[in-house]
């Protein structure tokens, strides 16, 4: 199994696990990462990681749960614009890469790249962005675990669709 970066907590999930990374002084969440099945749970290393882990667990039960955590700033101006568009998509709904691209005067591929660079995919739910054809599109820059990550995206969309 691949060694994971130093996560402040790892929370088991139906699709695998969610890694939580906080900054050095544990004042902000820096990253959520989708981890493959078989990833070992890691108890929170600090109070913020404990709160983030609790909120991840709540989301896994309650798909319309809204995260309320101090988050580290990241990304370029364009990436942040894409992430704002994504954050406006309600649980159970989807949008397309092309729709966001049109709103921002960009191209769908650039929107996809911004989605792939998203360090906080549960807070900024890139899984709600799908291909114009109705297919899943990509997810989380799917380099190493393409099948696992697309299965994760599918699970997240189904989880949120079941909230109604």
- Catalytic residue, chosen from 48, 86, 111, 126, is 126
| Distance between start and end Cα atoms, the chain | 37
| CB neighbours of residue 47 within 10 Å | 10
Q: Taking each helix axis from N to C terminus, what angle separates 97-104 and 77-87, rounded to the nearest 10 degrees?
A: 120
Write the DSSP string, 82-139.
Answer: HHHHHHTSPTT--EEHHHHHHHHTS-HHHHHHHHHT-S-TTTS-GGGEE-TTSS----
- Our answer to whether residue 115 is catalytic in this structure is no
| Active site residues per annotation | 126
């Amino acid at each position: 199994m691949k060694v994971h970066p130093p996560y402040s907590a790892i929370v088991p999930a139906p699709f695998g696990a969610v890694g939580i990374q906080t900054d050095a002084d544990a004042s902000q969440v820096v990253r959520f990462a989708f981890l493959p099945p078989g990833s070992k749970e890691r108890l929170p290393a600090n109070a913020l990681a404990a709160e983030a882990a609790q909120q991840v667990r709540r989301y896994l039960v309650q798909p319309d749960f809204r995260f309320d955590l101090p988050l580290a700033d990241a990304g370029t101006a364009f990436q942040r614009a894409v992430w704002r568009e994504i954050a406006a998509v309600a649980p159970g709904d989807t949008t397309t890469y092309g729709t966001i691209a049109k709103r921002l005067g960009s191209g769908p591929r650039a929107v996809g790249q911004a989605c792939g660079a998203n360090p906080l995919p549960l807070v900024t739910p890139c899984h709600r962005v799908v291909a114009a054809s109705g297919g899943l599109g990509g997810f989380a820059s799917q380099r190493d675990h393409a099948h696992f990550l697309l299965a994760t995206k599918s699970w997240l969309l189904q989880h949120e669709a079941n909230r109604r």
